[in-house]
Structure 1
Amino acid sequence: MKTTISEVYKHAEKEVKIGAWIANKRSSGKIAFLQFRDGSGFIQGVVVKADVSEDVFQTAKTVTQESSVYVTGVVQKDERSPLGYELLVTGIEVLHHAVDYPITPKEHGTEFLMDNRHLWLRSRRQHAVMKIRNEIIRATYEFFNENGFSKVDPPILTGSAPEGTSELFATKYFDEDAYLSQSGQLYMEAAAMALGKVFSFGPTFRAEKSKTRRHLIEFWMIEPEMAFTEFDENLEVQEQYVAYIVQAVLKNCKLELKTLGRDTEKLEKITAPFPRITYDDAIVFLHEKGFDDIKWGDDFGAPHETAIAESYDKPVFITHYPTSLKPFYMQPDPNRDDVVLCADLIAPEGYGEIIGGSERIHDFELLKQRLEEHNLEMDAYKWYLELRQYGSVPHSGFGLGLERTVAWISGVEHVRESIPFPRLLNRLYP
């Protein structure tokens, strides 16, 4: 019976055949222990010299790390195994004999591992992170599909920028300038006026020269937009969504979280609603914590966000930022024109902002005024302004950065481990 490692539980006490790679091995006289991986998981194979042919045992002793094989064996329960099962090997057929695999079980430096990212992905830890990433993506589609959202794909090449062009990658689009998208939001607003509730999921690009553990040049965003949705309703969707994906990972990635040594008690606390603190109150709080240098009107850096997040065991919304700090399209607070109806969602444990969102301006004249104040070309935003001319409604949306969210939920220190092939300030290889 041909199967996969993740499905061996269906074949207890039966002989199975698995296509796999040798992740590691050790031998002791008359017994050899092989660690097999097949993409779906890892399992230990035990080869007992007395129970197999001489050829099979010799193969077990000489097969090299990352050689590919077909292994046959009897599935046996084993409480000591993280998987709960091991394989009593009866046969090994080597498909390809790997030589001098560069990533050995010893310690390697980060730069070496990043240079060999195409191989590092095979390791047990990186495998666990990628499986958690996949579960977050699966649960994202499930959440929005179950809540009446339609998926819409905004363009990656754009002729204008939602937040200015200073951090965009420019390219030539035949005889005119174009940019790689830093957000699909403006297009998603148009889609929301057609379909009501929409979400996008795709790559975004920021030409930001930052080397922090929270930043990537290319990353993936989930960007919902909702018609007839005001500020507080927007926050409710955000907290429900984040709680949903965390609970999905807890339910479906137990083995991966264990592999990573993740403290799941912290994740179990992530249920809606989430706490909220205004920007004004956050400034007061930071002064009380000794951050005397920050003043009203300053943006928060990583130390400020971490200090605020440490006061809660759930993600926390920081709301009502100064108008001067935020993009042109955010709706002003009706009670004061110096702040906007926006919120950043800060993850616990020092992972920083994972969501930015707001109610969008729906008044034509106000949006036109904002565009002028930001010195943006009116012609480039003509279509965006027209959304406020033909049946404008209050609407809101947000963007969740997938990689920061993966890093937080899986507990890895650096966001570069949360994407298969990270693009960093000085890294475009492999």
Structure 2
Amino acid sequence: MERIQIIDAKNHVGQTVQIGAWVANKRSSGKIAFLQLRDGTAYFQGVVVKSEVAEETFQLAKNLNQETAVLITGEIREDTRSKFGYEIGIAGIEVVGESHEYPITPKEHGTDFLMDHRHLWLRSSKQHAIMQIRNELIRATYEFFNQNGFVKIDPPILTGSAPEGTTDLFETNYFDQKAYLSQSGQLYMEAAAMAFGKVFSFGPTFRAEKSKTRRHLIEFWMIEPEMAFAHQEESLEVQEQYVAFLVQSVLDNCDYALHVLERDRNVLEKYTQLPFPRISYDDAIELLKKNGFEGIEWGDDFGSPHETFIANSFDRPVFILNYPKAIKPFYMKPHPTREDVVICADMIAPEGYGEIIGGSERATDYEYLLEQIKTHGLDPEEYAWYLDLRKYGSVPHAGFGLGLERTVTWLAGIEHVREAIPFPRLLNRIYP
């Protein structure tokens, strides 16, 4: 007998098969038992009819505990009442692993309780759907960059210097010297772009920010492309094409997950329409001032309420262009006609999800970059290798970083970024 996965049930209608699964829930009447089954690919219903099975099989079905592991034998049939569209008529049940007093019951639980049991909470239908969307974004990321001629390069996780400044680094001992967990692979990707032209990285990054907002994680994953012989305008086009590609991939391949999450497909479809709108930092400040944000002044960075209002002024992701030099990292290219801003852009997601991409054109002048390193209180010796890139065939280049978890949170339509990563690391949480 063939053993199949639930997701493949559509290919086996009318066939008797075996499925390894867990009992997510159950209910029964006097003559029928309904088992909600999951196997890691999907959820569907198993039906046990008392008159069609041995008495011990029916009693076993009625008494199965939540999260008991079973081998189910039965016939796949269509089920037009469910979104999934299929179910299994159960003929036999073999218990593989008992489960007793499973802590996450169908009742409501507090967030701290669920986070303490994250290793089990991942089994729930909503968390399962979120992880499916995360997986699709990862798959689609590789497809997009491979199709567009990018080479994947892996930057180090342990570094000796700080690309974004020294205040939010995790420091560790590296034998007889200091090292840091990477905030970003960007500086290394610039070196890689000088060797390969178009590159991208995809890996974990760490920020020791003491932040408790719904948008922040201590450990998160970043996609960081870098392009040689490219200016900011070309980078912006790649960014919007990439994000639209991700949205379309979720629409094409995550229909069941979107249904579980009650995410409106029509809303997501708007986000595939290019080009995305753009607004300068200067105009964004004026927009906020005209709409009652009295505390914001030119030179301030945007907080969550500011980004949300700006985003809500448009119906798609929006680029905010050319921020003040004083609030941006040292490596950004100065504006050609203004001393006070740099050539950069943040992409702000709709619906209040905030910044999902930060990018810029990179400074190419050796003396300017050396001056900026000193101005930011950094040691030029630690950045000697980075400065070398401006000595040996420097070219215009630009790049960006997309935060995976913020993008998952946005596309899944969930409230907090902590649910967008399997095991979140938060300010006061490193368990489990």
Q: Which bracket does the TM-score occupy, shorter chain normalised?
A: over 0.9
Question: In the TM superposition, what is the alpha-carbon distance from 1:165 to its structure 2 partner?
Answer: 1.3
Please give the per-residue CA displacement for 1:353-408, whole angstroms capped at 9, x wherever unaligned: 00000000011111111112112101000000000000000000000000000000
Question: In the TM superposition, what is the alpha-carbon distance from 1:12 to its structure 2 partner?
Answer: 0.6
> Who is 1:88 aligned against?
89
What is the DSSP-based 3-state SS (H/G/I as helix, E as strand, rest coil) of the residue aligned with 1:134? helix
> Who is 2:178 aligned against?
177
Please give the per-residue CA displacement for 1:252-307, whole angstroms capped at 9, x wherever unaligned: 00000010001111100012210000000000000111001100000000000000
> Who is 2:379 aligned against?
377
Q: 1:266·1:313 contact (CA, 8 Å) conserved in 2?
A: no
Q: How does 1:335-374 map to 2 (within 5 A)?
A: 335-374=337-376
Picking from 269, 292, 295, the partner of 1:293 is 295
Question: In the TM superposition, what is the alpha-carbon distance from 1:217 to its structure 2 partner?
Answer: 0.3
Mapped partners of 2:122, 2:378: distance in 1 = 43
> Who is 2:388 aligned against?
386
Question: In the TM superposition, what is the alpha-carbon distance from 1:97 to its structure 2 partner?
Answer: 1.2
Mapped partners of 2:256, 2:407: distance in 1 = 19
Question: In the TM superposition, what is the alpha-carbon distance from 1:206 to its structure 2 partner?
Answer: 0.3
Question: In the TM superposition, what is the alpha-carbon distance from 1:241 to its structure 2 partner?
Answer: 0.2
Q: How does 1:313-332 map to 2 (within 5 A)?
A: 313-332=315-334
Mapped partners of 2:14, 2:84: distance in 1 = 15
* Matching residue's letter, 2:291: K
Mapped partners of 2:83, 2:37: distance in 1 = 13
Structure 2 residue 61 is the aligned partner of structure 1 residue 60: yes
**Deviation larger for 72-81 or 251-260:** 72-81
> Who is 1:247 aligned against?
248
Question: In the TM superposition, what is the alpha-carbon distance from 1:427 to its structure 2 partner?
Answer: 0.3
> Who is 2:208 aligned against?
207
Question: In the TM superposition, what is the alpha-carbon distance from 1:81 to its structure 2 partner?
Answer: 1.1
Structure 2, unmatched stretches of 5+, are none
Structure 2 residue 429 is the aligned partner of structure 1 residue 417: no
Q: 1:260·1:411 contact (CA, 8 Å) conserved in 2?
A: yes
Question: In the TM superposition, what is the alpha-carbon distance from 1:337 to its structure 2 partner?
Answer: 1.6
Mapped partners of 1:2, 1:120: distance in 2 = 26
> Who is 2:104 aligned against?
103
Please give the per-residue CA displacement for 1:92-147, whole angstroms capped at 9, x wherever unaligned: 10001100100001110110000000000000000000000000000000000000
What is the DSSP-based 3-state SS (H/G/I as helix, E as strand, rest coil) of the residue aligned with 1:257? helix
Mapped partners of 1:173, 1:103: distance in 2 = 41
What is the DSSP-based 3-state SS (H/G/I as helix, E as strand, rest coil) of the residue aligned with 2:203? strand
Mapped partners of 1:195, 1:20: distance in 2 = 46
Please give the per-residue CA displacement for 1:31-89, whole angstroms capped at 9, x wherever unaligned: 00000000001010010000111111011011110000000111111111121101111
Structure 2 residue 122 is the aligned partner of structure 1 residue 117: no
Number of residue-to-residue matches in the alignment? 430
Mapped partners of 1:122, 1:369: distance in 2 = 52
Mapped partners of 2:371, 2:218: distance in 1 = 31
> Who is 1:281 aligned against?
283
What is the DSSP-based 3-state SS (H/G/I as helix, E as strand, rest coil) of the residue aligned with 2:292? coil
What is the DSSP-based 3-state SS (H/G/I as helix, E as strand, rest coil) of the residue aligned with 1:338? coil
Mapped partners of 2:146, 2:57: distance in 1 = 50
Structure 1, unmatched stretches of 5+, are none
What is the DSSP-based 3-state SS (H/G/I as helix, E as strand, rest coil) of the residue aligned with 2:275? coil
> Who is 2:12 aligned against?
11
Please give the per-residue CA displacement for 1:185-206, whole angstroms capped at 9, x wherever unaligned: 0000000000000000000000
Between the aligned residues of both structures, percent identity stands at 68
What is the DSSP-based 3-state SS (H/G/I as helix, E as strand, rest coil) of the residue aligned with 1:192? helix
Mapped partners of 2:213, 2:98: distance in 1 = 40
**Deviation larger for 132-141 or 70-79:** 70-79
> Who is 1:149 aligned against?
150
What is the DSSP-based 3-state SS (H/G/I as helix, E as strand, rest coil) of the residue aligned with 2:411? helix
What is the DSSP-based 3-state SS (H/G/I as helix, E as strand, rest coil) of the residue aligned with 1:339? coil
Question: In the TM superposition, what is the alpha-carbon distance from 1:13 to its structure 2 partner?
Answer: 1.0
Q: How does 1:395-406 map to 2 (within 5 A)?
A: 395-406=397-408
What is the DSSP-based 3-state SS (H/G/I as helix, E as strand, rest coil) of the residue aligned with 1:404? helix
What is the DSSP-based 3-state SS (H/G/I as helix, E as strand, rest coil) of the residue aligned with 1:75? strand
Mapped partners of 2:377, 2:250: distance in 1 = 44
Mapped partners of 2:346, 2:299: distance in 1 = 15
What is the DSSP-based 3-state SS (H/G/I as helix, E as strand, rest coil) of the residue aligned with 1:283? helix
Mapped partners of 1:325, 1:79: distance in 2 = 56
RMSD (Å) for aligned C-alpha atoms? 0.6
* Matching residue's letter, 1:415: V
* Matching residue's letter, 2:423: F
Picking from 311, 333, 336, the partner of 1:334 is 336
* Matching residue's letter, 1:422: P
Structure 2 residue 230 is the aligned partner of structure 1 residue 229: yes
Please give the per-residue CA displacement for 1:129-174, whole angstroms capped at 9, x wherever unaligned: 0000000000000000000000000000000000221100000000
* Matching residue's letter, 1:313: D
